Chain A
Amino acid sequence: MAFIKNILDKMKPTFSEGGKLSAFGSLFDAIETFFYVPNETAKSYGAHIHDAIDSKRSIFFVIIAMIPAILFGMWNIGSLHYAAIGEATTLFGSFFYGLGVMLPKIVVSYAVGLGIEIAVAQWKKEEVHEGFFVTGILIPMIVPVNCPLWIIAIATAFAVIFAKEVFGGTGMNIFNPALVTRAFLFFAYPAMMSGDKVWVNQSYMDSIGGPSADALTAATPLGQLGAGETVSYDAMDTIIGTIPGSIGETSFVAIMIGAVILIWAGIASWKIIVSTFVGGALLAYLCGDAADLNFQWWEHLTVGGFAFGAVFMATDPVTACRTEGGKWIYGFIIGALAIIIRQFNPGYPEGMMMAILMGNLIAPLIDYCFVQSNINKRMKRAK
C-alpha cells in the first residue's frame, strides 16, 4: 500500500494552492482522504472529543450494511426478468443480469451527485464531504428497475442542489437527499415510478431509456392492495423478497441483516428502527386488516419500502432526531404515518417516503421540546 501513499504525496503540490491543477484540489483531497485518514489534528485550544473513525470510515459501514440488500436486489431483477420471459436461469445468471441492469444506475447517480458536490466544494473552497457516498447508492436502490437513466440524473441533480447544497452541504440538510430524489421522481415522472410497467425488466434498454410500450407488466403487493385486488404474493414471498418493487427494498431478510450490521457498528440508532416498526405495527393492526385480500396486517411491515426506510433512511443521523427520547417519538410517528398514508390515501399506495420526509420536517421540533423540558426540569431542581 505504500506506493499509493508515495504517488499521492508526490502529486500533492500539483493540486495545492498555486499548483498547476489547483482547480481539481478538492477532487484530489477527496481521493487522498478516501485512502488515508488525514493526519491533521484539531488545534490545542478548547476541548475536543474524537472518535477513532472519521465520517468517511463510518459511512463505509453503512454501505457494507446495504450490500445484502443490493446483492439481493440484483438477483431479484434477473430472476423476475427470466421468469417473466419464460426462460430457465441459474443463480448466477440472474445475478449477472441484474448487475448489468443496476450498474448504469449506480454510475449515473454517483457521477451526477459527486460531480455537483466537487464543483460546489471547489467553488466554495471547501473539502468534498462524504455524505454523498451513501446517498449515491441509496438512489438506485429506491427506484423501480425501469426508471430511465436521464430521469435519475435530473432528480439527483435537483436533490443535491436544492435539498443539500442550498442548506450548506453535508450535515446541514433538513431532508434526506435520497428521499428528496425519490419524491422529485414521484411527482415529476409518476409514470416512471408507479403503475405496473416499471417493475419487471424486459431488456437492458428498458432500464436505460424507460419501459417500452409493450413492457412486461407486474403489480406490487401494495399496488394490488391499493386497487382493492387480491394480493397474489404469499407472506413468505414478501419476507424473502421475491416480489416486484423498487430495487433494494423488496427483501425483508436482507434489510434486517443490514440493520444488525448498522446497530452492531453503532451507526444507526436502534431506538429509531424499533419505534418505527412499533408505530407501523400498531397502526397496521388497528386499521390495516385486509385478510380477505390475502394480506395479513403484519405484512405491511415487510412489503414496499417500510423496512428499507426504517433501517436506512429514517436513521440518517443528519435528518433524524438527536435527543434520545425524541428518537422514540420520531420513529413512532414515521411508522404510524406510513401506514396511515397507505391505508387512507388512495392516491398513494406507498406511504413510507412521505412519512420519513414528514418525520425529517418535525425532527427539530421534537428535539426542541425535549431539550426545553430537560432545561425546565433542571431549573426546577436548582430552585
Chain B
Amino acid sequence: MGLFSKENREVLCNPLGSNNPVAVQVLGICSALAVTAQLEPAIVMGLSVTVIVAMANVIISLLRKTVPNRIRIIVQLVVVAALVTIVSQILKAFAYDVSVQLSVYIGLIITNCILMGRLEAFAMQNGPWESFLDGIGNGLGYAWVLIVVAFFRELFGSGTLFGMQVIPQGLYDAGYINCGIMLTPVAALVLVGCIIWFMNARAEKAEKKK
C-alpha cells in the first residue's frame, strides 16, 4: 500500500468536504464561536488543533495495541493534555499577543470533541501513517471553517483583516457603520449555519447526480 494510495487520500480529503468535523459532524462548535471574531486567532487556533490532532493520532495509534482497553480514555486524555500544554507554551513564548487573545481556548482544546472523536474512532483502529493523515485532514477541515467564519466576522464586524483596515475610510465618511452583531457569537452561529446549509445543499446535489 503506497503512502498516498486512494484510501489514504480519502482519509486526508474527506474531512475537508463531505465529512467535515464542524459543518457535517457539528463538533467543535464551541471554540468555533469563541475565537472567530478576528482572523489571526482563528488561524492560530486552527493550526494548533491540526498539529495536536495529528500528533495525538500518531501517538495513540502507536500505543493502540499496548494500552489496556479499560483505561484508554485516560491515556488519550494524558496524551492530548501533554500536547496542548506544549502548544500553549510555544504560543506563549513566540506569539504572546495571540495567546492572550485566545486565552483559555487553547487549554480547552483538550475538551474539543474532534480530538477524542478522532482518537476513539480512527487512531485506535489504524496505523500511524493513516492516523497522521486523518489528523491533518480533520484539523484542516476544522481550520477552514474557522477561517471562513472569522473572515466574514472581522471584515463586517471591524472592517479589518489581520488587524488592517480594508474597508476604505471614504465609506465610513459616507455613513457606513460596522455591523456590531458580527462581533458577537450570534453571528458566528448564523455563519456556521450558512456553511452547514451550503455543505448540505452540495451533498444533496452530488447525491442526485449519482
Contact = CB atoms under 8 A, between A and B. Distances in A.
Contacts, number: 25
Contact of B177 (A166, A187, A189): A189
B181 A184 contact: yes
Nearest to B156: A188
Interface residues of B, number: 11
Contacts of B184: 187
A136 interface: no
B177 A151 contact: yes
A154 B180 CA distance: 13
Contact of A209 (B175, B180, B190): B175
Given A148-B175, A210-B175, A162 B190 contact: yes
A150 B181 CA distance: 16
Report whether over half of chain A's contact residues are helix, strand or loop; otherwise say mixed.
helix
Interface in A154-193: 154, 162, 166, 184, 187-192
B182 interface: yes
Nearest to A185: B181
Contact of B180 (A162, A166, A187): A187
B175 A191 contact: no
Contacts of A148: 175
B5 to A, nearest CB: 41
A187 B181 contact: yes
Contacts of A192: 177
B78 interface: no
Interface of B: 174-175, 177, 179-182, 184, 186, 190, 197
Interface of A: 148, 150-151, 154, 162, 166, 184, 187-192, 209-210
10 contacts: A154-B179, A162-B190, A187-B180, A188-B179, A188-B180, A189-B179, A190-B180, A191-B177, A192-B177, A210-B175
Closest 7 CB pairs of A and B: A188-B181, A209-B175, A187-B181, A188-B179, A210-B175, A188-B180, A189-B177
Given A166-B197, A189-B180, A192-B177, 20 more contacts: A148-B175, A150-B175, A151-B177, A154-B179, A162-B190, A184-B181, A187-B180, A187-B181, A187-B184, A187-B186, A188-B179, A188-B180, A188-B181, A189-B177, A189-B179, A191-B177, A209-B174, A209-B175, A210-B175, A210-B177
